[in-house]
């Protein structure tokens, strides 16, 4: 995998934030809350699947809960390759963001 898309990056970071509670719905909720935009399940599910296929994250079935009709959650975690990828992204981003002025309010 060459690079992460913006969405993939967000999802991976959300997984990090959610620690052991990262599954499809919680990720979508978390992102919705932070970005303030409604994230549909589908729009999360597809990149999530792609990430898993590329080995950035790994999913494993967690414990069952009654609210889900007794079905288990698939809890995601960042893999070693995933961390490496995130590191790389952060490095590039930091380099590029370095000279950006924090507040540049127009008309001030």
Partner 1 sequence: MAGQEHPIKILEILLKHIIPFCDHEHLLGDFEEMYTRIARDRGNTMALFWYIFQILKLFPSYFKNYCAWSLNMLKNYMKIALRNLKKYKAYSLINITGLAIGMACCILIIQYVQDELSYDLYHEKADRIYRLVDALDMSGPTSRYLALSSAPFAPALKNEFPEVEDAVRFFLGRRRMVTYGENKYYEEGIIFADASLFRIFTFPLIEGDPETALEAPHTIVISERVALKYFGNENPMNKIMKINNDDYLITGILRDIPRNSHFLADIFASMKTLEQIPTVQERFFQNWARHEFYTYLLLKEGYSASGLQSKLPEFIEKHAAQQIKTILGSTLSSTLQPLNSIHLRSHLQHEIGPNGDIKYVTIFSVIAVFILLIACINFMNLATARSINRSKEVSLRKVVGANRHQIIRQFMGESFIYTFFALFFAFLFVRLALPLFNSLTGKEIGVQDLGNVIFLGAVVFILFFVGLLSGSYPAFILSQHQPANVLKGTANIKSGRSLLRKGLVVLQFGISIFLIIATGTVLNQLDFLRNRKLGFDKDHVVVVTIRENAIRKNSEAIKADLKQNPHILNAAITIGVPGGVVAGDAIQMVTEEGKKTVTVRMIYADHDYIKTMGMEIVKGRDFSREMSTDENEAFIINEAAIRGLGLENPLGTQVEWGDKKGTIIGVVKDFQFQSLKNEITPLFIQIWPVNTFVFAIRISPDNIPDTLAYIEKKWKELDPAHPFEFSFMDESFDRLYKNEEKLGQIFSTFSFLAIFIACLGLFGLALFMAEQRTKEIGIRKILGASVGRIFVLLAKEFVYLVLIANVVAWPLAYFLMRGWLQNFAYRVNMESWIYILSAVIAFVIAFITISFQALKAALADPVKSLRYE
**Which spans of this chain sit near partner 1 (rule: CB under 8 A)?**
23-25, 41-42, 45, 61, 67-69, 71-74
The nearer residue to partner 1, 72 or 80, going by C-beta atoms, is: 72
Q: Which is nearer to partner 1, 67 or 104 (CB)?
A: 67
Q: How far is the CB of 60 from partner 1 (least distance, A)?
A: 10
CB of 73 to partner 1, least distance (A): 6
Q: What is the 3-state secondary structure (H, E, C) of the chain?
A: CCCCCHHHHHHHHHHHHHHHHCCHHHHHHHHHHHHCCCCCHHHHHHHHHHHHHCCCEEEEEEEECHHHCCCEEEEEEECHHHHHHHHHHHHHHHHHHCCCCCCCCCCC
CB nearer to partner 1: pick between 48 and 78: 48
Q: How far is the CB of 75 from partner 1 (least distance, A)?
A: 9
């Amino acid at each position: 995998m060459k690079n992460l898309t913006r969405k993939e990056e967000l999802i991976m970071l959300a997984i990090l934030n959610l620690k052991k509670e990262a599954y499809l719905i919680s990720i979508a909720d978390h992102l919705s809350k932070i970005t303030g935009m409604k994230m549909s399940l589908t729009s999360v599910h597809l990149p999530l699947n792609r990430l898993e296929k590329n080995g950035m994250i790994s999913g494993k079935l967690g414990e069952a809960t009654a609210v889900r009709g007794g079905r288990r959650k698939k809890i995601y975690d960042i893999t070693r390759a995933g961390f490496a990828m995130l590191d790389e992204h952060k490095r590039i981003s930091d380099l590029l963001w370095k000279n950006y002025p924090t507040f540049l309010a127009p008309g001030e």
